[in-house]
Amino acid sequence: MLAPLLMSSVSFHPSAGCQIIEQEVPSPSRSQVLLKLVCASLNANDIDLYNDTVSGRIKTNTSITPCHEACATVVSYGDLVEGFDVGELVAINPCRPCWHCKYCLNDQTHLCLDTITTNQELAYAKHGMLSEYFVVEDYQCYPVGPECDTHLLSLCAALAGALHRTNRAGPLLGKRVLVSGSNANGLLTALAATLEAAEKVYYLADSEHTILTAMQLGITNIVDTRLSDTHKQEILSDIDIAIETSGSTHLLHDCLYYVSRGGRVVYSSGKQDNVSISLLYLIAQKELELRGATQFDGEFAKAVDLIARQEVNLLPLITTSVPFEESISAFELASSKRPTIKVLISARNE
Ligand SMILES: [Zn+2]
């Protein structure tokens, strides 16, 4: 498969705004694989970056290519790369650790000092996948059979994030688990908790659309946050573990409030919201354990396996798929007030 010299890429730039630009197709280094995008999935970071670009709040001076959730086909690779066929479909683990820092050397690549950066935009600029062609390291590529549904395969990174949250929560077997968050992360984490054989999983959400999607996904114990406190208290008794996925202070409060004394709360948020200091009171009084969850890495292979073997049905999460040349409209839709869960972008020739 020969790559052309030029390709289209989505570009976010502080002065030029959000647009599709033409640029040179990159060449893979000796250890890299050149990929042709098949399908990408927008996540909350992408949408935040879009909104920051539109509003002029974006911090970098460079052009940023968004998106870290995608699948693609192999075009070519460097001379050190083995085990791939040209045209092969791969899921892409976006994690690209340094392999040298103390975390990488301690088998904690998800905490790598090079991957987790305070300058999120810079990480996007270096590794964004919303281009017709892009390069990744060979170890980032997970081959799957050609029969695998490419829309679902683009959700591997999102599912891996959910698996990481449940891993951070500890063994869930026999536990009563509460998951909160009216978004894809919340829905996927509730599903992941079910896969981990929790005794009962309650999903706490506050949007009609998300609650409907949860029902389509087979999540049965759905609790509307708009119920009265008394009603919620009756339903959410003896919660062992709570996982908050949205960064909402309100939902974090609910998790801390409804989890039992001595329980555990996992908090996962990409936002730097002002969490009320008064919530610490609940942690102290109930002797709760609070854990953070950020980037996955080791969970990616399991996510690929679950999707490729069709052991999870994530189809209800997909709101729509937009052609690559209409990528900017996909961002407009995902950041609009219209109810969406996962907006996908599909490349030509799919
Ligand atoms: Zn590292």
92 Cα: distance to centroid of ligand 1 (angstroms): 19
191 Cα: distance to centroid of ligand 1 (angstroms): 30
39 Cα: distance to centroid of ligand 1 (angstroms): 28
Instruction: Please count the other Cβ atoms lying within 10 Å of the Cβ belonging to residue 51.
Output: 15
185 Cα: distance to centroid of ligand 1 (angstroms): 25
180 Cα: distance to centroid of ligand 1 (angstroms): 31
The pTM of this model reads 0.94
DSSP letters spanning 230-252:
HHHHHHS-SEEEEEE-S--HHHH
63 Cα: distance to centroid of ligand 1 (angstroms): 25
H or E element in which residue 193 lies: helix 184-195
Place of tokens 């609070």: 290
Exposed e or buried b per residue across 237-248, where buried means at least 16 C-beta atoms within 10 angstroms of its C-beta: eebbbbbbbbbb
Q: How far is CA 100 from the centre of its chain?
A: 25
232 Cα: distance to centroid of ligand 1 (angstroms): 43
241 Cα: distance to centroid of ligand 1 (angstroms): 30
pLDDT, one tens digit for every residue, the chain (350 residues):
677 899 999 999 989 999 999 999 999 999 999 999 999 999 998 999 999 999 988 878 888 999 999 999 999 999 999 999 999 999 999 988 888 999 999 999 888 877 655 556 667 777 899 999 999 999 999 999 999 999 999 999 999 999 999 999 999 999 999 999 989 999 999 999 999 989 999 999 888 999 999 999 999 999 998 899 899 999 999 999 999 998 888 888 999 999 999 999 999 876 666 667 778 889 999 999 999 998 888 999 999 999 999 999 999 999 999 999 999 999 999 999 999 999 999 997 64
Walk me through the domains of the chain, giving residue ranges and CATH numbers: 6-155+314-346 (3.90.180.10), 162-292 (3.40.50.720)
111 Cα: distance to centroid of ligand 1 (angstroms): 7
Q: Is 254 helix (H, G, I), strand (E, B) or coil?
A: helix
104 Cα: distance to centroid of ligand 1 (angstroms): 4
